[in-house]
Structure 1
Amino acid sequence: MLTVPGFDLVRLPGADGVELAAAVGGSGSPVVLLHGFPQTHLMWRHLAARLAREHLVICPDLRGYGASDKPAATGPEVYAKRTMAADVVSLAAALGHQRFALVGHDRGALVAFRAGLDHPEAITHLGLLDVVPTLDMWRVLHGTSAAVGYHLYLMAQPPGLPETMIANSADAFFGSFLDAWADDPSAMPDEVRAEYLRASAAAVTSIVADFRASAEIDVRHDRADLDAGSQLAMPVTVVQQDWGAQLGFDAAGVWRAWAPDLDHRLTRAGHFMAEEAPDEIGAAVRDLLAR
């Protein structure tokens, strides 16, 4: 498998006996980077190298993805973002760090968001790339604009049909997102694209379980926090495409309701911004860490 050049690939304990594969490099204060869909920790190869000059950088594959364990979804909590957030806190502790900065992209950003709410004592700084919280995501998708998120509805269906449909056309399914969401295809070389497709095809069942959790248990957890008035206590930076203009809502306002100490930025890069615009994203992360 491909990994971040110059980093060590190790296995670290997550929650509930699950082990996560992680690329680890550099030294200094710790920063954990969580990848998105349909990717692995390899998406951080540019940013990780930059951050490793000053920080210990930890890039795990989320549970159910890449080379990490893929436990059977015996209940909704197995792939709940709450459980995946506990994975992150556990693996950092295994490396001797009770507090760390956390940056996530896409699915990884949803895990990071949950970690910020559930483990404020552990997360010093929080960076979130190209998402809105799960509860808000379902609220802002409506009418024909929701077609952009058809996969969310497909993978929310009961077990059986989504897994079969996706497994029977895995390269076409996962490849369609790599094509549609990239503004600069050259930022994802052939060997990197092939690694994402290989890893995703081998993880169809667990990837669907992750998305299904976001239509069920994750919504309940977010709503409980909203009703309780919970907010992110640490400095937060959000970088995203102009979702508000595309879908007709105030993206910065959505995030400000959760994050009082917010730096909200728009980018002209595509969804895979850490690969397409590593200098821009690197600057945003360095600014976050300086707050």
Structure 2
Amino acid sequence: MFTRREAVVGALGTSLAASCASSRFPQGPAEFRAAKKFVTTESGLRMAYFEAGRGAPIVFLHGNPTSSYLWRKVIPHLTGLGRCIAPDMIGMGDSDKLPQSGPNSYSFFEHLGRLDSLLDAVGADRDVTLVLHDWGGPLGFHWAMRNEARVRGIAFMETFVVSQDDTNTPPQALEFFAWFRTGEAEREVLMNNAFVETVLLRQFPDMPEQDRAEYRRPFVEAGESRRPTLDWPRQVPINGEPADVHREMLRCLRFMSETQKPKLLIKAEPGGLIVGGRERVPRAWPGVSEVVAPGGHFVPEHSPDEVGHACATWLARVGLR
């Protein structure tokens, strides 16, 4: 298991590759957005992704309410080690919105299908390393479960590693997720952009205005434009509901507890999701290493250099580079 000191020492060993890769990296939101590429799914909707580097695919999956922009300071540490691919989930970032959306249009299964199409289209067909945050965790775990032969390793942080129920979730956390199923939440999120403003941006009072604007940009228009940020928390299984999502999350967590693929747990400190003893679950998974990075739930934003260094060190340590 990684220690904090090993992570720091390993980071020094990867600094040269990182600095070389970052010299050509887009600077600022406008350049990052201009560098994105697009694939068209079977339904005709376009999905955006950012790509940098060459070699075996390293796929970065974001959650709610972010986009590939979450990884902008992490990816430069890894472009010398592989082909970094960071999609925007459907309805988020620069990917298209679903037409005629409504409650639960942006379901877990909708995202799974779109992600499958994108990864097939970009040729992520072998030696894939997954780097996962928030809902990117269940999406990536499920993809790995169905495509194990294509996977070489899985790094994850601040994601779901247990079911959300009365036995393992603090009451205030259950209340937080349950609130999003109310009519009040529907108004606050769709009309006032509450998930972006409160759950994300309030955590970063010193974030530069250009970065705040970039996170707001996909959801500037009130109403259905913001539906993805509401549907995501409504997909969190609470005491087994929604039953279909609960079932599939248990399946992919069982897969993670059984597969021998190398894994890296980046434990955010103090964190937000993998807290209160929940870290004991992924620590018991086979082939897992662990490193601590300072930050809350959005640890790639809090500590991008630490996250990037940890991933690069782990790739070298377990022979994945």
Q: Tell me the equivalent position of 2:15.
A: none
Match of 2:291 among 235, 250, 265: 265
Amino acid at match of 2:213: A
Q: CA deviation at 1:31?
A: 0.8
Q: CA deviation at 1:237?
A: 1.0
Mapped to 1, the partners of 2:295 and 2:171 lie a distance apart of 26
Amino acid at match of 1:9: K
Q: CA deviation at 1:246?
A: 9.3
The DSSP-based 3-state class of the residue aligned with 2:294 is coil
Q: Tell me the equivalent position of 2:303.
A: 277
Mapped to 2, the partners of 1:113 and 1:24 lie a distance apart of 21
Over the aligned positions, Cα root-mean-square deviation in angstroms equals 3.4
Aligned residue pairs, count: 280
Structure 2 residue 312 is matched with structure 1 residue 289: no
Query: Residues 65-84 of structure 1: matches in 2 within 5 Å?
Result: 65-71=92-98, 79-80=107-108, 82-84=109-111
Mapped to 1, the partners of 2:256 and 2:119 lie a distance apart of 28
CA contact (8 A) 1:239 1:265 kept: yes
Amino acid at match of 1:162: A
TM-score normalized with structure 2 length: 0.73
Query: Residues 144-159 of structure 1: matches in 2 within 5 Å?
Result: 144=172, 146=173, 150=176, 152-157=177-182
Q: Tell me the equivalent position of 1:209.
A: 231
The DSSP-based 3-state class of the residue aligned with 1:126 is strand
Match of 2:247 among 220, 226, 234: 220
Q: Which is greater in Rg?
A: 2
Structure 2 residue 165 is matched with structure 1 residue 140: no
Identity %: 24
Amino acid at match of 2:179: L
Query: Residues 52-201 of structure 1: matches in 2 within 5 Å?
Result: 52-71=79-98, 79-80=107-108, 82-99=109-126, 100-133=128-161, 135-136=163-164, 140-144=168-172, 146=173, 150=176, 152-157=177-182, 162-170=185-193, 172-182=194-204, 185-186=205-206, 188-201=207-220
The DSSP-based 3-state class of the residue aligned with 1:125 is strand
Q: Tell me the equivalent position of 2:3.
A: none
The DSSP-based 3-state class of the residue aligned with 1:58 is strand
Q: CA deviation at 1:118?
A: 2.8
Amino acid at match of 2:58: V
The DSSP-based 3-state class of the residue aligned with 2:261 is coil
Amino acid at match of 1:23: F
CA contact (8 A) 2:270 2:294 kept: no
Amino acid at match of 1:11: F
Q: CA deviation at 1:267?
A: 2.3
Structure 2 residue 272 is matched with structure 1 residue 253: no
Q: Tell me the equivalent position of 2:266.
A: 239
Alpha carbons of structure 1 residues 161 and 256: separation in structure 2 relative to 1, 3 Å: same
| Residue ranges of structure 2 left out of the alignment (5+ in a row) | 1-27
Amino acid at match of 1:123: V
CA contact (8 A) 1:128 1:239 kept: yes
Q: CA deviation at 1:155?
A: 2.6
| Residue ranges of structure 1 left out of the alignment (5+ in a row) | none
